Amino acid sequence: MKQFKLLYLASEVSPFAVAGGLADVTSALPKALKNLNQEVRLMIPKYKFINERKYVLREVIRLREIPVTVNNETAVASVKSAFLPDSKVQVYFIEVGDYFNRPGIYKDPKTNKPYPDNAIRFAFFCKAAIETLKKLSWQPDIIHCNDWQTAFVPVYLKTIYQGDPFFKGIKTIYTIHNLTTQGDFDVNIAEKIDFDKSQVKEGGLFYKDGKLNLTKAAIYFSDFITTVSETYANEILTDDEVGFGFGPILEEKEDKFEGIMNGIDYGIWSPEKDKYIPFHYSKEDLTNKEENKKALLMRLGMSYEPGVPVMGMISKLTRQKGFDLVLDIMEDLLKENLKLIIHGDGDRDLAEKFLQFASKFPDKLSVSITYDEKMAHLIEAGSDMFLMPSRYEPCGLNQIYSMRYGTIPIVSAVGGLFDSVDDIDEETGEGTGFIIEELTPKALLKAIKRALKYYKNKDKWTELQKRIMEEDFSWDISAKRYVDIYDRLINETEF
Ligand code: GLC
């Protein structure tokens, strides 16, 4: 396999800065690329909360005090470096002015509102990343960007830096992790982020639905676009609701657009060696899974009752993730012989409603409105089933983690969920999870009841657990597909 120089850019990378599934992918894919002998380096913002000691961040003398100018405002960037834990992937942490010296990644934790200058913050991050490359004298073959926070890079390279010989020939690839957040801002922001304001009106390259749209900008300016599963790629091309009207825009680039299923990092997500769970287990012996269940329930102040299944949900509490549907069937669910555990940040009004139910039925429902990595692992290990009734799901990772932990997924038939879970046939026992046939409360309840019924047959359930634990979604295959794309791009004749 050919070797390339790759710069991987993201606003979140696990374990340094995590808000969602994006962070898992941006740490796992670079590691997988490194294993394929690629020269890959990462750049992320240096958020205030990143623990410099714990992760051994070091100053890089020649990357101190780099002036970065966006719209006539100059901020000073300084770059530190460390390695992704358990790997040789180098990570540069970019500090620029005071833009990331704050407690949240995107939102102010106090108000739960996005920082009003988010577009400017990430414009500075991207400019600083570009300037850092020059200071480093490191010319990557490919810059791989992820989500709107990095969308400025393809745009700047083809506008501001167009004539700069240092960047000549560098190709950009842009991965859409979820179109729910597109980076849409008031049109007046254009000048403040060095975008051509004549393109922010009807018909303009950056203009969509009355706003300046960074995802649209990235789609036009990148050399290749990917998203995180094949089905989601199809859905956003063809379904206006899932694709937020991006279908026609992506269609223009159809030969430069592909869906590649995310893999997962079994170094972190395996019940045999998970460093966050109290009891390790494997498909050969599942006894300890039950011990994790006890530990989980105890941690949450719930009683352990043999034979009563636990259903986990780790997700942002939003409509996109189907939480409104869960609310619709809450009363029915509380009548079932079942304990439900919900863990994740999200919409306050949805959260409130779940919290109310939980206060009335504390031994049947646990709701924690926060995200805690350790708790996420314990829920995967200690639950019997895992629920994801998403309206759309670009890839979804928890259904795949669940399979490795012998925790049976119950999922809707969309995006990456559809690509990774096969419906169980009660007769033959084939399949890997329970599919919610349509996005209605009734169908949701039906799927959960099917799972509860299946659970009663201990032998069949154990056989199913053992089988799904064998499913392999490691990154090897998907990382190779990315390398193929890099290869194609590099060998393309220049425009
Ligand atoms: C986003 C998507 C999720 C995907 C993840 C990583 O968080 O919502 O489906 O798994 O990105 O690509």
Q: From the CB of 259, is ligand 1 less than 6 Å away?
A: no
Among 174, 261, 397, 412, name the best residue to mutate to test ligand 1's pocket (greatest count of ligand atoms within 8 A of Cβ).
Answer: 397
Question: What percent of the chain has a predicted confidence (pLDDT) above 70?
Answer: 99
Q: Give the distance, in angstroms, between the CA of residue 481 and the centroid of all CA atoms in the same chain.
A: 19
Q: Average pLDDT in the 283-305 region?
A: 98
Strand 385-388 and strand 408-412: the pairing is parallel
Q: Please give the distance, rounded to the nearest whole angstrom, from the Cα atom of residue 21 to the centre of ligand 1.
A: 5
Q: From the CB of 21, is ligand 1 less than 6 Å away?
A: yes
* Helix 441-456 / helix 458-468 crossing angle, nearest 10 deg: 110
Confidence of residue 495 (pLDDT cuts 50, 70, 90): very low
In angstroms, the CA 274 to CA 483 distance is 29
pLDDT at 407 over 80: yes
Sign of CA dihedral 228, 230, 231, 237: positive
Strand 310-314 and strand 434-436: the pairing is unpaired
- Asked whether the whole model's pTM tops 0.75, one would answer yes
Q: What is the pLDDT of residues 308-343, one digit of tens each?
A: 999 999 999 999 999 999 999 999 999 999 999 999
Q: Could you give the angle at the alpha carbon of 342 between the alpha carbons of 339 and 346, nearest 5°?
A: 160
Give the pLDDT score at 493.
60
Residue 228 CA, closest ligand 1 atom number: 12
**Residue 95: beta bridge partners?**
78
Instruction: Give residue 103's identity as a one-letter amino acid code.
Output: P
Question: What percent of the chain has a predicted confidence (pLDDT) above 90?
Answer: 96
**Bond preceding residue 15 cis, omega within 30 of 0:** yes
Is residue 341 within 8 A of residue 381, CB to CB? The reply is no
Q: From the CB of 146, is ligand 1 less than 6 Å away?
A: no
pLDDT at 409 over 90: yes
Name the residue among 89, 32, 3, 23 with its Cα closest to residue 477.
32
Among 236, 242, 262, name the best residue to mutate to test ligand 1's pocket (greatest count of ligand atoms within 8 A of Cβ).
Answer: 262
pLDDT at 404 over 80: yes
Is residue 139 within 8 A of residue 133, CB to CB? The reply is yes
Q: What is the pLDDT of residues 165-215, one digit of tens each?
A: 999 999 999 999 999 999 999 999 999 999 999 999 999 999 999 999 999
Q: Could you give the angle at the alpha carbon of 392 between the alpha carbons of 388 and 398, nearest 5°?
A: 35
Domain map (residue ranges) of the chain = 5-264+475-490, 287-468
Is residue 460 within 8 A of residue 429, CB to CB? The reply is yes
Q: From the CB of 399, is ligand 1 less than 6 Å away?
A: no
CATH of the domain spanning 5-264+475-490:
3.40.50.2000
CATH of the domain spanning 287-468:
3.40.50.2000
| Residue 444 structure tokens | 């949701």
Give the pLDDT score at 367.
98
In angstroms, the CA 324 to CA 244 distance is 20
Confidence of residue 112 (pLDDT cuts 50, 70, 90): confident
Q: Average pLDDT in the 27-46 region?
A: 98
